[in-house]
Structure 1
Amino acid sequence: MTVRTVLGDVEELGVTYAHEHLFMTGGWPVRNEPDYRLDSLEAAVAEVTAARRHGLGAVVEMTPLGFGRGPRLMRALSERTGLHVVAVTGFHKSTYYSDAHWLHHYDADEIAGLLVSEIEEGMDELGLVGPIVRRSPARAGAIKLAAGYHRLPHGRLISAVAQAARRTGAPVVTHCDKGTMGHELLDALDVDRVVLGHIDHNPDPGYLVSLAERGAYLAFDRPGRIKYGPDSDVVALVEALAEKGLGHRLLFGMDLARRSYWPSLGGGPGLTYLLDRFVPRLEAAGLGEVARAALTGNAAAAFAIRRG
């Protein structure tokens, strides 16, 4: 399987976090909340280096267009640490973009063309804010689409993302607000691979099983962020999926999109938590094999570029 990283296509990722943020240098989050400013290469190197000691091999960097994702920074981080970084093109919720932004005005075909170019030619260094495109050698490897709380994104965006996924063979990775809109996104997109992000924020085993049975990948990112609920909730969800034979649809990440989550910047729990603290807990519950698959084989299948 071939996965597209910021340094080129690779055949193996190793242990992979399916939802992470390493750089956010501008746009809505940074303007409204300084805690979202992740613009230090040195801090990112420190975080990644610590996690690499625990076996981390790759991350899917989920910072989308308009949030200052930093292709040069991602490449520099990958070169310095050996971490594989899969970047995304695409969007967060449309309400996070000004009324003048092109995503509110371009048609689906035009938007799809821009997304395809980021995957096949290279990401724009400035996130397609235009009018000049400064094409990076770093190419995106997945396409992001965000749903609101019980609200689908605009139909033009859904159509554009689905079209770009079919043209490039890249997976669609989603933001599911509070774990909602899973089935609705699967229905609307109608593509072969969808990764449902934040889906464990709706800790309903029956709901998650029903999504996995449809072939969705479920990206769990709550471990260590106790404000959303205890880790025991996530352990129970993993067990419920495993009991139904659906562990092969499971992915893990941490979504540490704030400075206050990074030990190098005075916070926590840090990127090491998932491998150092949460996976051993799964192993103690007899779920070690499920955890290893979620972090390796499942991730490799979910994020591969599939042609034809």
Structure 2
Amino acid sequence: MAVVRTVLGDVAPEDLGVCDAHDHLFIRSAMLPPGQELDDYDAAVQEATLYADAGGQSVIQWTPHGLGRRADLLPKVSEETGVKLVAATGLHRAEHYAELPTEDLAELFVRELTEGIGDSQVRAGLIKIASGFHGLDEHTSWVLDAAAEAQRATGAPIGIHHELGTGADAVLDRLEGHGVPPDRIVLGHLNRFPDHQVHQVHQELAARGAFLAFDGPSRGNHATDWRMVDCLAALVETGYADHLLLGGDTTTARARLATGEGPGMPYLLTNLRPRLTRRLGEDVVGQIFVTNPARAFATDWK
């Protein structure tokens, strides 16, 4: 029986409800400017509460191993706000780390998915990895291969950060080559590469069976975020509404609504959802926020 692995235990897919399919409550990285890391418990609770007040019921937190996931605090945030949270294992791009793990990556990922993260009993429900810019470098290939091995061992979904939205076809090729089913793969940040052929590129990826995650609006990618609705509409019009996911991808303190300048996690529901409803209709928006996440993140755990 397929279930979603949250920080408070496994739940039925339909219990996810309205889902932010890609976001962060806690993250620290060597790439973040001083003071912009997300590591404040009270701020996380405030942001998640605003999201819940807007109708949000669950968040998939894509912060991977070694970047300040705060697995010890995630259950408390979930209990205090009523928002279901899914934690991630995996590894980001090399530049986010002062020091990379030396142990076998696949074993690390499997342990965090099946036993717990660090000393906690919190199990991850997602493998989050990252691609290179327009291709697969040595670090990316190392992490992708480990993620594929861990996915085959557990059945867990894999979510991919695509650097500036590029390289999704190469990532999908490699993961499928290792036996990962495409419906276990979430291709992230695709709105960050809206060239003149983007609709065709997105349709080809969806046709292969993967989920396509669009994140934002965000400060870092505002130059392309404004085209996201058109990208989604093109995919819906060509029959791929059941492959689409949306997330806020809040990665800096400044981007929070509760304690920063926004737009923050609630924006998905307070601003973007009404726009999408007018353009795509309530049924499609229900698929994107409720039905599709339930399929993408539910697993028959091995």
TM over 0.5: yes
In structure 2, what is the equivalent of residue 92 of structure 1? Answer: 92
Counterpart residue identity of residue 4, structure 1? R
Shift, 1:151, TM fit:
2.8
Alignment of 1:264-303 (within 5 A): 264-303=258-297
Counterpart residue identity of residue 183, structure 1? D
Do the aligned residues in 2 keep the contact of 1:239 with 1:287 (CA within 8 Å)? no
Q: How many residues matched?
A: 289
Query: 1:111-162 CA distances to partner (integer Å, 9 max, x unpaired)?
Result: 21111010000011xxxxxxxxxx2111000101101211314433222110
Equivalents in 2 of 1:3, 1:47: separation in Å? 23
Is 1:258 the counterpart of 2:252 in the alignment? yes
Q: Provide the secondary structure at the position in 2 that maps to 1:160.
A: helix
Q: Provide the secondary structure at the position in 2 that maps to 1:71.
A: coil
Equivalents in 2 of 1:257, 1:212: separation in Å? 26
Alignment of 1:112-131 (within 5 A): 112-124=106-118
Counterpart residue identity of residue 141, structure 1? G
Do the aligned residues in 1 keep the contact of 2:131 with 2:140 (CA within 8 Å)? no
In structure 2, what is the equivalent of residue 215 of structure 1? Answer: 209
Is 1:13 the counterpart of 2:16 in the alignment? yes
Counterpart residue identity of residue 16, structure 1? C
Counterpart residue identity of residue 19, structure 2? T
Unmatched runs of 5 consecutive residues or more in structure 1: 125-134
Shift, 1:27, TM fit:
4.3
Change in Cα spacing, 1:256 to 1:211, as seen in structure 2 (3 Å) is same
Is 1:58 the counterpart of 2:58 in the alignment? yes
Q: Provide the secondary structure at the position in 2 that maps to 1:72.
A: coil
Between 231-240 and 211-220, the greater mean CA deviation after superposition: 231-240
Sequence identity of aligned pairs in percent?
40
For residue 164 of structure 1, the aligned residue among 146, 150, 175 is 150
Do the aligned residues in 1 keep the contact of 2:131 with 2:161 (CA within 8 Å)? yes
Shift, 1:294, TM fit:
1.0
In structure 2, what is the equivalent of residue 182 of structure 1? Answer: 168
Do the aligned residues in 2 keep the contact of 1:224 with 1:274 (CA within 8 Å)? no
Do the aligned residues in 2 keep the contact of 1:144 with 1:174 (CA within 8 Å)? yes
Is 1:150 the counterpart of 2:134 in the alignment? yes
Change in Cα spacing, 1:226 to 1:139, as seen in structure 2 (3 Å) is closer
Counterpart residue identity of residue 3, structure 2? T
In structure 2, what is the equivalent of residue 137 of structure 1? Answer: 121
Equivalents in 2 of 1:49, 1:274: separation in Å? 14
Do the aligned residues in 2 keep the contact of 1:205 with 1:241 (CA within 8 Å)? yes
Do the aligned residues in 2 keep the contact of 1:5 with 1:87 (CA within 8 Å)? yes
Normalised by the length of structure 2, the TM-score is 0.90
Is 1:305 the counterpart of 2:299 in the alignment? yes
Is 1:194 the counterpart of 2:185 in the alignment? yes
In structure 1, what is the equivalent of residue 222 of structure 2? Answer: 228
Equivalents in 2 of 1:241, 1:35: separation in Å? 38
Q: Provide the secondary structure at the position in 1 that maps to 2:227.
A: helix
Change in Cα spacing, 1:290 to 1:229, as seen in structure 2 (3 Å) is farther
